[in-house]
Amino acid sequence: MIERIGANIRGKFVEFGYATGFFLSLIKGSFFFFRQKHVGLKVLMMQILFTGFEALSIIILLGLALGVVIIVQGLAILPQFGQGDLIYTILDVVITRELGPLLTAFVIIARSATAISTELGNMVASQEIEAYVSVGIDPIDYLAVPRFLGVIISIVLLNLYFNIAGLIGSFFVAQFIQTVTIAEYFRNLLVFSQPASIVISFIKSFVFGIIISFSATYNGFKVEGSTTEIPQVVIKAVGQGLALCIIASAIITALSYLWF
Amino acid sequence: MIDNNYSIELIDITIAKNNNIILDNISFKVPEGITTIIVGHLGSGKSTLLKTISSIIVPNSGKVLINEKPYTSMSAAAIKAYRKSCGFVFQDSALWANKTIYQNLELPLLYHFPDIKKENIDNKIKKTLDLLGYEGNINRRPSDISAGNRKLISFARALITDPDILMIDSPETSIDFSSHGKIRNIIRDLKARGKTLIICTYDEYITSMLADHVVVLFKNKIYASGSYKEIVTSNDPVIRRIMSHVLDKVSNFDGDILNLINPNS
């Protein structure tokens, strides 16, 4: 029993070592990626197309819907307390700071993290990764780094679009409840929102991008040879991605109130 | 003759997976410029040995030395140069499923020759496919072609950078009779050009006609290693059992065994 617990703990340390090494390889590969003519550039473009462009419609829809929910609820409740203008602060905090990056991350986890870990797992099982090694191509440089960069770039841009859609969506719905001119709406938004929110939103989406792409690629490569392992690693990639993004969001939010 | 010599040596290699020993304390120096055949029963570790020799698999213990330097301590540039000189044909082809046939052959060229022009890539691919007699559509994906053609493309991918060392895992697997003949001829031509060939095979023709050196794997260890003549004339019962398919061909051959070993002599 003790021996099994010891072996388990030792295994966790070994895995932590592998994960750290893999992460450092991703960072190193990312640093050098644009410095040389890289065969992985096409992989990066494809990843941005899949993660960033093809998810645009769902992200805009979610942003609009969230904006609608906040404005409808806010304009129904807040004026009762004489705090109607607080709606702009709530829009800023909820859409820009908190739910924008987080919901964008959830969409990316559902669409791209699952796809990446499934694809890489299949490639390991069908010996395609070994084939890359055999021709001299480093699978981390060629397969993981472009996906890592692609997801980060995409999530930062999607978060931006989510924010724009959420704030514009709110404006149009506000027209049905209370007539506000576009100039007044955005002036109020600027007055009541904090510039720090944009910085925090950017930091969050960047960190979420790192977490999601790392957990997806790392778990994908963890398949040892059997296709039955693929659903298991996909579940791990999704679970780790969700949990780590929420934890990271809480930490960044807490730190933001200390620093800003 | 080869212009870029690479010596490959395995030192005390052990590979285990899920507590099962696949290769047990193996030491072996790959003979340069000749054809080495790895033989053994099913599950004796032939494919794993071949992948270890090519450093596709990292052993649990022991070292793979490339030009007397551990592979794991080689620089990225040295590994890239070595890989360019070292082709590998997988038993199950292992083509990249999300790429077309053309892209499967294009990628090693783009990687090793970043400034290569498209027309040179096209010429190189056409020349290699002509050599193998592949006449199919190169814009199809591997899943859209037969297993035999996938094997041919796997050969083409290994040959596309004109490697000095070629490792082939079961060349006879998945291919039809006519493709089999083409692959035998290509292996014979590569041997004639002085390439270092390391082949895992049950093909009695390749073994009897082309082998210079034979490695016999038994119970996950190297049981015997020697010249083809030494192995084929051995009276050891294990070697005779493992080599039975070749010995049957040799015994049925109506002529001098040395002619069979070296048909051009």
What pLDDT score does A132 carry? 94
pLDDT over 60 (residue B90) = yes
Least-confidence region, from A146-160, B31-45, B67-81, B169-183: B169-183
Percent of chain B with pLDDT over 70: 91
Q: Which residue has the higher pLDDT, B152 or A175?
A: B152
Under an 8 Å CB criterion, which residues of B touch A?
Answer: 17, 51, 54-57, 76, 79-80, 82-84, 86-88, 90, 92, 94-98, 107-108, 110-112, 114-115, 157-158, 161
Amino acid identity, position B192: A
Comparing alpha-carbon positions, the chain A residue that sits nearest to B114 is: A37
Respond yes or no on whether ipTM tops 0.85: yes
A15 to chain B, any CB pair closer than 8 A? The answer is no
Query: Nearest CA of chain A to the CA of B91: how many Å?
Result: 10
Query: Nearest CA of chain B to the CA of A101: how many Å?
Result: 31
Comparing alpha-carbon positions, the chain A residue that sits nearest to B106 is: A39
**For testing the chain A interface, which of B96, B115, B174 should be mutated: the one with the most A CBs within 10 Å?**
B96
Of residues A110, A94, A112, A123, the one with CA closest to residue A193:
A94
Do B97 and A127 make contact, defined as CB atoms within 8 angstroms?
A: no
What pLDDT score does B3 carry? 43
pLDDT over 90 (residue B181) = no
Bridge partners of B168? B89, B199
Query: Nearest CA of chain A to the CA of B56: how many Å?
Result: 6
Q: Give the orientation angle of helix A114-125 with respect to helix A195-221, to 10 degrees.
A: 20
- pLDDT digit string (tens) for A64-98? 999 888 888 888 888 888 887 788 888 888 999 99
- pLDDT digit string (tens) for B182-209? 888 888 888 998 899 999 988 878 888 8
Residue pairs between chains A and B whose CB atoms are closer than 8 Å: 64
Assess contact for B152 and B132: CB atoms under 8 A: yes
What's the pTM? 0.86
Whole-angstrom distance, CA of residue B61 vs CA of residue B65: 13
Restricting to A residues 123-162, those with a Cβ less than 8 Å away from any Cβ of B are 123, 126-128, 130-138
Do A37 and B92 make contact, defined as CB atoms within 8 angstroms?
A: no
